[in-house]
Amino acid sequence: MRVFCASLATETNTFSPLRTDFSDFAQSFYAPPGEHPDTPTLCSAVFPALRRRAKDEGFTLIEGTATWAEPGGMVSAATWEHLRDEVLSQLKAALPVDAVVLGLHGAMIADGCVDCEGELIASARALAGPDAKIGVSFDPHSHLSAKRVENADIITVFKEFPHTDFVEAGEACVDLTLRAVRGEIAPRISVFDVRMMDVLPTSIQPMRGFVDKIMSLEERGDILSGSVIHGFMAGDSPDLGAKVVVITDNDAARGDQLARDLGMELFGFRGRTKPDFLPPAEALRRADASDRMPVVVADVWDNPGGGVAGDSTILLQEALNQNLGGVALGTIWDPMAVRLCFAAGEGAELDLRFGGKTSAHAGAPIDAKVTVTRLQRDAVQSFGTSVVPLGDCAVIRIGDLDIVLNTNRSQTFSPDLFTNLGIDIAKKRIVIVKSTNHFHGAFAPVAGEILYAAVDGPYPNNPVHTDYTHLTRALWPRVDAPHAEERA
């Protein structure tokens, strides 16, 4: 048996002021064939899983490129075409193959291509032939097109948000694809369009129970796999919105019915899945009044994981206005400010302007006399077993506020973002992070309380008002009863 694998991933916020090119992939993660590390990245967990299986089972594994760019704006046409052709040429050179396994994100959009992953999977199918098995793994914040479903045999999706199960999703994709190659299963993919775009964290009810229900169906053997595409509201895609994916062993009719039943149950959750989102001033007042320390306050919309810059100063300015002490904030993306801090050196005091550079919606730059308390080249944080680069970082202090400035855009995943830079968050009263929910898994065990602050900015967080140009389907909340319109 011969198996080819590759990973090509990013998440495109088509409304972001940023743009994505090859340098973003090179800066975040780029591994040529054979150079993928032993530890997985968010979308490349299929690599270590396949390596283990190939060693144990004796099949031939041909590795292609694995690369990931931090979520950002539209991918340039030249970058997309270069990476697409790189992977496809590697697959062509590997032929014949019995299987193709792709670790993808599912929300990449490039200039001139609204369905990058669909094009890649269809091209892989054309090269590998109709008898090869194609398995793909997706992030739930993606767009599931008919082209992807028609050309894949296996689709697995991270079930959890925060994505604490990305390794398990990759391993499931590998296992089901290998079983299909060996004829042990005849997978049939069923998809139901939920026609809903909402925020669906699985760390709280009702999504916690819904995901547990899907996992119990898998554990009992009722289905081979069950997944939920949440959708990515910042991507102008014709396939925007939630979809349920069920894979059965050659029982498409049952899979179709179960996907519909689960999908309508999910639709019933609309409008009541996300946590309470507070205005910035209220969130910080509540944090200041709490006696459960530290209070973690999430800046949910200035989240680099959603493709925005992560340089908003609005929450920081509010903390300064309220004269709060015992505060740590991570991170503000500002390569120029970091460079100035490195030039000044640790312990230096200087007048520094930082933040608020990339968008009119991200607040004004902060002008303050700061003390540089820590400088770190090539800093990192962890996300499960994955290592996330932060680039060069500078920790600056204004009064009793510690602020992490970084050069590689990244949302906050783990407390070690702070501890790796000498900030003990256990001694802080308030910790401000830029993340929608991926921070939750690692911070919940150490936080006294978690609050979510909603700051409007370059992330389009209300689909009712977002100017989508490719969306033609009826979708809640833009339409109150989209399934009724579908039947009409």
Q: Are residues 202 and 303 in the same domain?
A: no
Domain span at residue 397 reads: 280-453
Q: Are residues 382 and 251 in the same domain?
A: no
In angstroms, rounded to a whole number, what is the distance separating the alpha carbons of residues 315 and 453?
A: 8
Residue 479 to residues 129, 143, 197, 199, 486, Cα–Cα distance (Å)? 41, 19, 11, 17, 11
Q: Are residues 236 and 140 in the same domain?
A: yes
Residue-level pLDDT at 360: 87
Cβ-in-10-Å burial (0-12, 13-18, 19+) of 277 comes to middle
- Alpha helices for 154-228 (secondary structure H): 166-181, 207-219
Q: Are residues 286 and 261 in the same domain?
A: no
Q: Are residues 431 and 344 in the same domain?
A: yes
In angstroms, rounded to a whole number, what is the distance separating the alpha carbons of residues 300 and 306?
A: 9
Residue 467 has pLDDT above 80, yes or no: yes
Final residue before a domain boundary, out of 267, 301, 322: 267
pLDDT in tens, 27-64: 999 999 999 999 999 999 999 999 999 999 999 999 99
H or E, element range at 324: none
pLDDT in tens, 151-209: 999 999 999 999 999 999 999 999 999 999 999 999 999 999 999 999 999 999 999 99
Q: pTM of the prediction? A: 0.95
In angstroms, rounded to a whole number, what is the distance separating the alpha carbons of residues 150 and 403?
A: 48
- The secondary structure of residue 374, as a DSSP letter, is E
From 395, 352, 391, select the one nearest 372 (Cα to Cα): 395
- Computed over every residue of the chain, the mean pLDDT equals 97
Amino acid identity at 391: G
Q: Is residue 463 part of a domain?
A: no
Residue-level pLDDT at 361: 86
Residue-level pLDDT at 485: 67
Q: Is residue 232 part of a domain?
A: yes
Amino acid identity at 153: D
Amino acid identity at 419: T
Final residue before a domain boundary, out of 267, 294, 324: 267
Q: Are residues 247 and 293 in the same domain?
A: no
The residues facing 245 across adjacent strands are 191, 227
In angstroms, rounded to a whole number, what is the distance separating the alpha carbons of residues 132 and 129?
A: 6
Q: Are residues 128 and 225 in the same domain?
A: yes
Q: With bands split at pLDDT 50, 70 and 90, how would you rate the model's confidence at 422?
A: very high
From 335, 336, 368, select the one nearest 351 (Cα to Cα): 368
Q: Is residue 409 part of a domain?
A: yes
From 411, 302, 392, 405, select the one nearest 350 (Cα to Cα): 405
Q: Is residue 476 part of a domain?
A: no
From 180, 156, 153, select the one nearest 168 (Cα to Cα): 156
Residue 422, number of CB atoms within 10 A of its CB: 11
Q: Domain count of the chain?
A: 2
Q: Is residue 485 part of a domain?
A: no
Q: Is residue 480 part of a domain?
A: no
Residue-level pLDDT at 456: 82
In angstroms, rounded to a whole number, what is the distance separating the alpha carbons of residues 192 and 170?
A: 22
Q: Are residues 194 and 305 in the same domain?
A: no
Q: Are residues 147 and 285 in the same domain?
A: no
Q: Are residues 287 and 339 in the same domain?
A: yes
Q: Is residue 67 part of a domain?
A: yes
Q: Name the more confident of 50 and 487.
A: 50
Percent of the chain with pLDDT over 90: 96
Q: Are residues 222 and 144 in the same domain?
A: yes
Q: Are residues 256 and 304 in the same domain?
A: no
Residue 280 has pLDDT above 90, yes or no: yes
Final residue before a domain boundary, out of 267, 293, 319: 267
Q: Is residue 273 part of a domain?
A: no
